[in-house]
Amino acid sequence: MKKKKAGEELALRIDGKAVAAKIKAQVAGEAAILAEKGIAPGLAVVIVGSDPASRIYVNNKKKACQEVGIYSEEYALPEGTTQEELLALVDRLNHEPKISGILVQSPLPKGLNESALVEAIDPKKDVDAFHPYNVGKLMQGRQIFLPCTPAGVIELLKSANVEIAGKSCVVIGRSDIVGKPMAMLLMQNNGTVTICHSRTQNLAEICRGADILVSAVGKAGFVTGDMIKPGAAVIDVGMNRDESGKLCGDVVFEEAEKVAGCITPVPGGVGPMTIAMLMQNTVTAAKLQNGIS
Ligand code: GUN
């Protein structure tokens, strides 16, 4: 990435929608080839309760399945569904040949044990890559399924020709879904990775040293322009609402685009990539279950 002073031209805006469309087209091609062999990838999406954000995510996942030619089933269950009922459903889906991938939409209503449910999913159908078996495989660099959001971030960096090898990568956030697997994938790509979190001292200074800065905090306005190294690649995984209820990321975009070399917007950055990678994993799962590598 070239050197750049604040106040020069604006950062390249990475178009997540366009990159996701390309990946979905590839996945659609793979699904069509499988169809010729009589194999139909299928995704089961389980949603419990009435969280509005989860409802939107699930609708988008179903729509993407239709677009790429993946069969999908939705299990929309009421708030009061018990752990036993959910475990019984997961067990049934584990044994259902039409279903290649199972996804339990997070967060679940209070009182349900999410990790026990994830552990009940057959690791070969765990298209979120949340099962401890798949987390362990990722840790060893021998994963079958790539974690969707972090894998999407890597694809976005590649699309913008951002070199990862040897670069200083800073991930803000240490969640199981984004921060930790993101660090693993950057490391697999030979990046030098620092993970920052709520207890990190000198956060701004560490961020300013990043050639690649990935923010997965969940707080609007968290990353300001002065935290960004001129010319850096800035990836915003945040999905927040501002004071007026508008969807926004963690990064103050108007400040950051004056300093960064390239940057992802919210919406239209990482979000569409997560779903594209989920489609890819579902096709991978169908292949795996049918002995195709
Ligand atoms: N909730 C927010 N992101 C995700 C995701 O990637 N997978 C699932 N299952 N739930 C989520």
Pocket test for ligand 1, best of 51, 128, 237 (most atoms within 8 A of CB): 128
Same domain for 154 and 258, yes or no, is: yes
The amino acid occupying position 77 is: L
Residue 62 lies in a domain: yes
Q: Is the pLDDT of residue 150 over 60?
A: yes
Pocket test for ligand 1, best of 45, 105, 239 (most atoms within 8 A of CB): 105
What pLDDT digit, counting tens, does each position of 3-26 carry? Answer: 555 556 999 999 999 999 999 999
Any idea what the CATH number is for the domain that residue 74 is in?
3.40.50.10860
What is the structure's pLDDT at 7?
Answer: 52
What is the structure's pLDDT at 3?
Answer: 54
- The residue nearest atom 8 of ligand 1, judged by CA position, is 105
Residue 46 lies in a domain: yes
Residue 7 lies in a domain: no
Please give the Cα distance from 224 to 256 (Å, whole number): 7
What is the structure's pLDDT at 293?
Answer: 77
- Angle, CA 81 vertex, CA 115 and CA 65 arms, to 5°: 70
**Of these residues, 122, 126, 128, 250, which one is catalytic?**
128
What's the rounded mean pLDDT across residues 125-152? 98
pLDDT grade, residue 103 (50/70/90)? Answer: very high
Instruction: Give DSSP secondary structure letters for the chain.
Output: -----TTSSPPEEP-HHHHHHHHHHHHHHHHHHHHHTT---EEEEEEES--HHHHHHHHHHHHHHHHHT-EEEEEEE-TT--HHHHHHHHHHHHT-TT-SEEEEPSSPPTTS-HHHHHHHS-GGG-TT--SHHHHHHHHTT--SS--HHHHHHHHHHHHTT---TT-EEEEE---TTTHHHHHHHHHHTT-EEEEE-TT-TTHHHHHHT-SEEEE----TT-B-GGGS-TT-EEEE---EE-TTS-EE-SB-HHHHTTT-SEE--SSSSHHHHHHHHHHHHHHHHHHHHTT--
Q: Is the pLDDT of residue 177 over 60?
A: yes
What's the rounded mean pLDDT across residues 244-251? 96
62 is a catalytic site residue: no
Same domain for 257 and 161, yes or no, is: yes
What's the rounded mean pLDDT across residues 149-176? 98
Q: Is the CB of 105 under 6 A from ligand 1?
A: yes
Backbone φ and ψ for 215, nearest 5 degrees, come out as -105, 120
Residue 19 lies in a domain: no
Q: Is the pLDDT of residue 143 over 70?
A: yes
Q: Is the CB of 58 under 6 A from ligand 1?
A: no
Q: Is the pLDDT of residue 2 over 90?
A: no
Residue 172 lies in a domain: yes
Residue 68 lies in a domain: yes
| Domain count across the chain | 2
What's the rounded mean pLDDT across residues 242-261? 96
What's the rounded mean pLDDT across residues 196-214? 98
Q: Is the CB of 274 under 6 A from ligand 1?
A: yes
Q: Is the pLDDT of residue 197 over 60?
A: yes
What's the rounded mean pLDDT across residues 243-263? 97
Domain that holds residue 65: 38-128
Any idea what the CATH number is for the domain that residue 229 is in?
3.40.50.720
Q: Is the pLDDT of residue 77 over 80?
A: yes
Residue 180 lies in a domain: yes
CA 130 to ligand 1 centroid distance, Å: 9
